[in-house]
Each structure stands twice: as C-alpha cells, then as structure tokens.
C-alpha cells in the first residue's frame, strides 16, 4: 500500500515568485522580498473586558509578552504576536498546529480563535529602502518612533486589507488575503524595481 502523504502547501505566489536580483540593482540591492510561509497564522479576539485574560493566555502558550498599548506586539523570530484591533491579536508561528495548542486555553468565556493559516500569505520586505517602498503603498507613518519594533498596524492598499508587523529596524512582515496575495506581490515587485530588489 502506498504511504499516506500530507499534501504539500502550495504558495499562491508561485507563478510570480522569481528568486534572484531584479530591477535597478546595478548599484546594489536595497530591499529583499520573501515569502515567510509560517505554519500557523491565528486570529484571537477577546470579549469586551476579557482582554487581559487573553493576553495572559497568549503569554502562557507562546511565551511572548504583549506590551501595553494599541497595536503593540513582539516577535522572537519563530513566533510573533501583535494587536491589530481593539481586543484582537494576530499570532504567528513557524510551526503548524498552534491552533490546537490554544484550543483548550482560549475558553468560550475569554474569546474566540480563528485559524487563518491557509487564509493569509505572509510576505517579508527587508532592507535599507523597506520603509521607502512601504510608504509608497500605505498611508501610515513607517518611521521607527511612530511604528516601533514588534508593533502591528491594520491598513489597506487599493482595498487589499493588510496587517503589517515591524519585525526588524528595516524589516516588515505583511499579512494579506491569500486570494489577493499574488496581485499584491506583483505590485510590491514593481514598486521595488526602482531601488533594486532580490527575491529569496
């Protein structure tokens, strides 16, 4: 009998994902674009008044302590969490199966858990011109004091809703709907041409 095989997750970017240097890179590559392909992308929402218990549950499961304040977040490389709306948080893990870890912890009295692992595509933009390219897409302030390390933002680009987390001083992780991801990716590549970009 043939062995049972888990289906390989396909990237929606595949037909437009071309590793290598592109655009105006003769004078150097100023942004690096990549798809991070995390195994788990979850949305957690607390009922009104239950926010603190939800934040504590996130800390218990992921080990990540959310800072106070709207849009606060933190990442440790393998896992990331950020607030994107009042009482709502996105939690990301390199590994699959984070939803089942949370299942017993987020009780119906605290709030809800939605597994978006297959519904979102994670795109990373890094490099000295990352802020510049992002500022062409989104009407928000990407300067470090206004958008601190680890923080999250909800905004959109031409009706494509995007959640953005600053995962480094010059690095952003963008979560977009999977069905719009290829279109967004193509636009991001076009926008990066002028500064020279590398797809990894």
Partner 1 sequence: MLITCPYCGPRDVIEFTYQGDGNRERPQPASQDLDAWTAYVYDRLNPAGDHNEIWQHSGGCRAHLRVVRNTLTHEIRSTTFARGGHKAEGRS
Footprint on this chain of partner 1 (rule: CB under 8 A):
48, 70-71, 84-86, 88, 139-140, 153-156, 159, 161
**To the nearest whole angstrom, how small is the minimum distance from the Cβ of residue 152 to partner 1?**
10
For partner 1, the closer CB: 153 or 195: 153
**To the nearest whole angstrom, how small is the minimum distance from the Cβ of residue 73 to partner 1?**
14
For partner 1, the closer CB: 105 or 149: 149
DSSP E strand boundaries for the chain: 20-22, 31-35, 40-46, 73-75, 79-85, 88-93, 111-115, 120-126, 152-157, 160-168, 171-177, 197-199
**To the nearest whole angstrom, how small is the minimum distance from the Cβ of residue 85 to partner 1?**
4
How big is the chain by its Cα radius of gyration, in Å? 17
For partner 1, the closer CB: 29 or 120: 120
CA distance 8 to 140: 36
Strands 20-22 and 111-115: unpaired
For partner 1, the closer CB: 70 or 95: 70
**To the nearest whole angstrom, how small is the minimum distance from the Cβ of residue 142 to partner 1?**
13
């Amino acid at each position: 009998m043939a062995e049972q095989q888990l289906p390989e997750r396909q990237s929606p970017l595949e037909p437009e994902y071309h590793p290598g240097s592109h655009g105006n890179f003769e004078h150097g590559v100023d942004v690096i674009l990549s798809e991070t392909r995390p195994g788990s992308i979850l949305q957690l929402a607390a009922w009104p008044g239950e926010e603190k218990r939800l934040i504590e549950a996130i800390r218990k499961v992921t080990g990540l302590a959310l800072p106070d304040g709207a849009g606060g977040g933190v990442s440790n490389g393998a896992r990331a969490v950020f607030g994107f709306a009042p009482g709502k948080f996105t939690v990301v893990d390199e590994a699959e199966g984070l939803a089942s870890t949370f299942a017993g912890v987020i009780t119906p009295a605290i709030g809800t858990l939605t597994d978006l692992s297959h519904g979102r595509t994670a795109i990373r933009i890094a490099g000295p011109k990352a802020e510049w390219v992002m500022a062409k897409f989104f009407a928000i302030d990407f300067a470090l004091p206004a958008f601190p390390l680890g923080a999250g933002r909800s905004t959109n680009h031409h009706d494509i809703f995007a959640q953005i987390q600053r995962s480094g001083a010059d690095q952003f992780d963008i979560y977009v709907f999977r069905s719009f991801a290829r279109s967004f990716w193509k636009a991001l590549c076009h926008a990066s041409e002028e500064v020279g970009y590398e797809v990894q």
